[in-house]
Structure 1
């Protein structure tokens, strides 16, 4: 019997000389879960289906860069889960279209507009109203944040306010001290100053007889920030039309969705609005009451409920249960605390006061509390549990903690959400974004400074759940990363296009040597490392760094010269890099046939119908035909070679640029043809020309300065050194005797000039002698010029 047979007979199952090949295990996806404060293995409840609820915007104002960071980051995670890990996602997002902020903002705008429409002329009554609004705003918004010495005494108000407004402009330390007492201090000062100035103008207009409707409107428009709260305190009960609140929310919802579209954020699978779910909210609250936890949600009863498990209020941030400021903010500015058993109890339903929208309920006319809306809409669309609930970290307490409590009370379950994903705060240059700090950047403003791709790249460069500091230096680095990928795609596509049109030469050798094997191995290692990074709670900074490193290695390989490049290996790398960048949402439009690049379609290349071959080719053919005509003309006239080279430069730098063709001169004498967005090429040419013009201007300015300096020097050289220490060039009576060169020997009193003083005078004389010699040489040269 053979050794192999003996081995098998012993029950080993395989010959003992066969050993398992070491295997690299597949990384497991782990996600940082705010609920557990750890990276948990991600396992959906229903196979590959992920049920995901995302807290959407409260629509009462323009969305800002912090919103962009939140929603773009969640879009990145969503794309990674679907496009990379292959999950199916039911993504639900709400829009809060009724809450305290919307109600107040809508009423303010409506009442100011009503006053504007009713004011047909500027009069004492209108000015008095604005003054009362000014005084009210001062008392409620500013006086409390002033230091005692800055608060004016009765009768001195106007003079003191003028002084304080000037101090706000000239004394940053004073403004900073006020901001420490109230972060909106600077904003209040600005609003008051604007109104104060408008009142002075209006008073002057009234005394001069300028009382037209336009003067009244100018005062109201300049004082709108001040008038809104004042008019609201007087007339809010008169605002009864629901459409006033809905129209404001609808407008800002439209603006938000437009901003998300500009940022390339995929729309939700389902979008819900609070006002559309009020009947369901009433039913939901009724059941919570039946279970003994409301009308104000009773957190004490919830914690003490006896079940197979124990309920626990504030699972996400239990340490914040005693934070009065957060609790008050969570309830909203228009909510009273009557009926609470505990300070941490919260409203499920709010009785509507005059000037607030109202819906019928068993408890009277009212409206939903802020927290209940998400519980209801998530339940309606996703059922009694979900895999992921997401939102900004600022929503964790009390909003999400309240959601958890009321939902687990309603469903009588131990756990409503498996994974809470909270995106980190965004700061600007190290500071919390705030209108009062003048670092408040709307999404629209940000997109005027940066592209959607650059913003997404900037967000990808930070861990999704960490605080991000948005700095100018960081965005500069982001642009450099974008340029690296952009240049890489341009070069690779150019090489592929060249390979496709070049003549195939039969070569009896393979083209897969050590450099090709090394690059292929680098691709495989990067693919594994990137998977590990994404499995590590979507570590996009590491993933992006790996892609960047692979591109750098490929660029080194391309540096060997195109005759030594295996384009198939490069194409495979570029196609995978493209795929991964598109997973992150960085693709823009359909990919070209070679499957490489961002996929941006230039507006000049877009077409709605079939391609018109003649229209497409004519611009290129016309440029080449003109170039041929000019070359023939120069050749026939036997012009110098430099004139033909000049034509070549014009073709490269002028004629082909608007067509999106870049010719990259190579060492082997053959240009690499790159197809680039014409806008990008034209912009690059303009920037280059601007830089050259600036350099030339600096050179001309320097030449002019040098010329002026030279003329000044020549002007000084007119003076003969023999006369420089004699009157009138020196005051009469300064010196008494001079030597043959005009150097002083004594002062006016006949005292010999000290040796140290004579040494200094001699040095000055020598300098003047040289200047005079240069002047004489220059005048002689001028006289001999034809």
Structure 2
């Protein structure tokens, strides 16, 4: 992997020629459209995703400030980002190179260190470890690259020095360095200008200027620089670390909606200034708040629920289903009613898989029929869901379509007057299961049944149908058998045909 990233850096420093998008400040990259549209806060509408390489994209997520345990607000953010990443990879075949920054030097970490009489590094390592354990429990894939502020101090110092040398930043008498917003004409493009940025002080030239480097204070960790001792400001960390890994331009930059201003605004400003470019991140993805009774969940309000507490009541699949049923950009209200609804929907899928197993293994006297209506329903839903995912990752529409597909299949399975139709029923079950697992659901309770008895029954039934089709020279049934074999192979199950007893194996 180490050899890969310098290549990305060279390619991405001249990713695209940018051109204005309508009358907004967002610049449309000149490259390869992937057929997916995502909401862009600069353009204030959905815009096409265009990549330099049609199958490779860079992605950076702002990670936690590790001074305390993560809560379900963090869970909502990172599960939804995980879902979007999985969609890009699994449905649109994009190779994502993912990175996440961990803020392990910060005012809150220093305060926790002082309050507990513990070294700030120990505090940060403890809560970072907790964070990764929580993410694993939620089935959130770990990023390929993890950047920690404490490991990038020299890189951050160099980044700040570059801004000072080009007079886009200035040093104050106390050793602090501020970005000069008056010299960056596009400041405020991610969000309309706020009344105030960081707290004002006598060292700042302009009210909206923000700290790149903070002068040292007694008892705080600090590092020497040409302008004095101190430590990094919050915003500069991500810019310096992303630039180190991905170069002067980034495809996706993601985080919670609360980071849009001032954090992401300031990142974009200082990065564009440093790289002398008009657009640093091409696509900003922001996740809506998780709220409790119309209030944002936050540690400062002391209304948080730790992730382990959530998982004592509901499993990770149920929480992920709740995230899938909501739209990632909007707030999601957390309450028992919402979670019970998500649990009911998830159970509908689990019960459907069990019903399919019973149906195809039932002792019916009817001859199997090739149900064109069900197959047409499946085809329509496949196309509809792909289109929904292309339009800003609309997973809630996909879940509804899958539930409707289950309804159609159940009508056939539970109707005594209907013909026996195992092939389309199995294909529908296979499609639904694959779609939901691509979203990151694990089906821990039902996976064993699905991966053993259901596959056994399918293989045995297909074998019987195939032999009958060969004997009767029924081309349609043979075609259906081949379709089942090919579908199963995409699900990593390879069927080996035999005149006597068929067999199957898992394949990579």
TM > 0.5 fold call: yes
State the shift of 1:598 in Å.
12
3-state DSSP of counterpart to 1:281: helix
Equivalent residue in structure 2 for 1:454, among 296, 300, 318: 318
Equivalent residue in structure 1 for 2:154, among 274, 279, 292: 279
State the shift of 1:435 in Å.
6.1
TM-superposition CA deviations, 1:586-641 (whole Å, max 9, x none):
12569669669999xxxxxxxxxxxxxxxxxxxxxxxxxxxxxxxxxxxxxxxxxx
Pair 49,535 (structure 1): closer, same or farther in 2 beyond 3 Å: same
Pair 50,356 (structure 1): closer, same or farther in 2 beyond 3 Å: same
State the shift of 1:46 in Å.
2.1
d(CA) in 1 for partners of 2:110 and 2:116?
10
TM-superposition CA deviations, 1:10-67 (whole Å, max 9, x none):
xxxxxxxxxxxxxxxx993110112211100111222210111110000001111110
TM-superposition CA deviations, 1:552-579 (whole Å, max 9, x none):
1111111124983211111000000011
Question: 2:368, 2:420 within 8 Å by CA — same for their partners in 1?
Answer: no
Pair 598,425 (structure 1): closer, same or farther in 2 beyond 3 Å: farther
3-state DSSP of counterpart to 2:142: coil
List runs of 5+ in structure 1 lacking aligned partners.
1-25, 111-242, 304-311, 329-335, 600-786
Which residue matches 1:95?
Answer: 102
Q: How does 1:11-160 map to 2 (within 5 A)?
A: 28-110=35-117
3-state DSSP of counterpart to 1:28: strand
Equivalent residue in structure 1 for 2:433, among 572, 578, 588: 578
| Higher strand proportion | 2
3-state DSSP of counterpart to 1:421: strand
Question: 1:102, 1:249 within 8 Å by CA — same for their partners in 2?
Answer: yes
Question: 2:58, 2:251 within 8 Å by CA — same for their partners in 1?
Answer: yes
Pair 521,595 (structure 1): closer, same or farther in 2 beyond 3 Å: farther
d(CA) in 1 for partners of 2:275 and 2:418?
69
d(CA) in 1 for partners of 2:127 and 2:188?
31
Which residue matches 2:348?
Answer: 484
Which residue matches 2:388?
Answer: 533
Question: 2:34, 2:50 within 8 Å by CA — same for their partners in 1?
Answer: no
3-state DSSP of counterpart to 1:367: strand
Equivalent residue in structure 2 for 1:521, among 369, 376, 380: 376
d(CA) in 2 for partners of 1:438 and 1:292?
42
Which residue matches 2:257?
Answer: 393
3-state DSSP of counterpart to 2:119: helix
Q: How does 1:753-768 map to 2 (within 5 A)?
A: none
d(CA) in 1 for partners of 2:453 and 2:97?
29
3-state DSSP of counterpart to 1:91: strand
Equivalent residue in structure 2 for 1:260, among 135, 155, 160: 135
State the shift of 1:363 in Å.
1.5
Q: Is residue 188 of structure 2 the alignment partner of residue 319 of structure 1?
A: no
Equivalent residue in structure 1 for 2:163, among 282, 288, 291: 288
Which residue matches 2:121?
Answer: 246
| Higher helix proportion | 1
State the shift of 1:361 in Å.
1.2
Pair 33,597 (structure 1): closer, same or farther in 2 beyond 3 Å: farther
Which residue matches 1:402?
Answer: 266
State the shift of 1:339 in Å.
2.1
d(CA) in 2 for partners of 1:546 and 1:256?
34
Question: 1:27, 1:532 within 8 Å by CA — same for their partners in 2?
Answer: no
Pair 31,434 (structure 1): closer, same or farther in 2 beyond 3 Å: closer
3-state DSSP of counterpart to 1:78: helix
State the shift of 1:495 in Å.
3.3
Q: Is residue 371 of structure 2 the alignment partner of residue 371 of structure 1?
A: no
State the shift of 1:302 in Å.
2.1
Question: 1:72, 1:456 within 8 Å by CA — same for their partners in 2?
Answer: yes
Which residue matches 1:298?
Answer: 180
Q: How does 1:408-487 map to 2 (within 5 A)?
A: 408-434=272-298, 439-487=303-351
d(CA) in 1 for partners of 2:242 and 2:236?
10
d(CA) in 1 for partners of 2:239 and 2:435?
35
State the shift of 1:478 in Å.
0.9
Pair 551,597 (structure 1): closer, same or farther in 2 beyond 3 Å: farther
TM-superposition CA deviations, 1:512-563 (whole Å, max 9, x none):
2xxx221111111111111111111001111111011111111111112498
List runs of 5+ in structure 2 lacking aligned partners.
1-32, 171-177, 456-508
Q: Is residue 222 of structure 2 the alignment partner of residue 361 of structure 1?
A: no
Question: 1:49, 1:89 within 8 Å by CA — same for their partners in 2?
Answer: yes
Equivalent residue in structure 1 for 2:210, among 341, 346, 350: 346
Calculate the aligned-residue CA RMSD, in Å.
Answer: 2.5
Question: 1:58, 1:95 within 8 Å by CA — same for their partners in 2?
Answer: yes
Question: 1:288, 1:409 within 8 Å by CA — same for their partners in 2?
Answer: yes
d(CA) in 1 for partners of 2:206 and 2:301?
36
TM-superposition CA deviations, 1:676-719 (whole Å, max 9, x none):
xxxxxxxxxxxxxxxxxxxxxxxxxxxxxxxxxxxxxxxxxxxx
Which residue matches 2:465?
Answer: none
Pair 343,483 (structure 1): closer, same or farther in 2 beyond 3 Å: same
3-state DSSP of counterpart to 2:101: strand
3-state DSSP of counterpart to 1:344: coil
3-state DSSP of counterpart to 1:43: strand
Question: 1:99, 1:370 within 8 Å by CA — same for their partners in 2?
Answer: yes
3-state DSSP of counterpart to 2:431: helix
3-state DSSP of counterpart to 1:42: strand
Question: 2:255, 2:285 within 8 Å by CA — same for their partners in 1?
Answer: yes
State the shift of 1:338 in Å.
3.9
Question: 1:489, 1:596 within 8 Å by CA — same for their partners in 2?
Answer: no
Pair 272,598 (structure 1): closer, same or farther in 2 beyond 3 Å: farther
TM-score for the superposition, normalised by structure 2: 0.77
Question: 2:290, 2:297 within 8 Å by CA — same for their partners in 1?
Answer: yes
d(CA) in 2 for partners of 1:394 and 1:370?
14
Q: More relative contact order in 1 or in 2 (CA 8 Å, sep 6+)?
A: 2
Which residue matches 1:554?
Answer: 409
3-state DSSP of counterpart to 2:50: coil
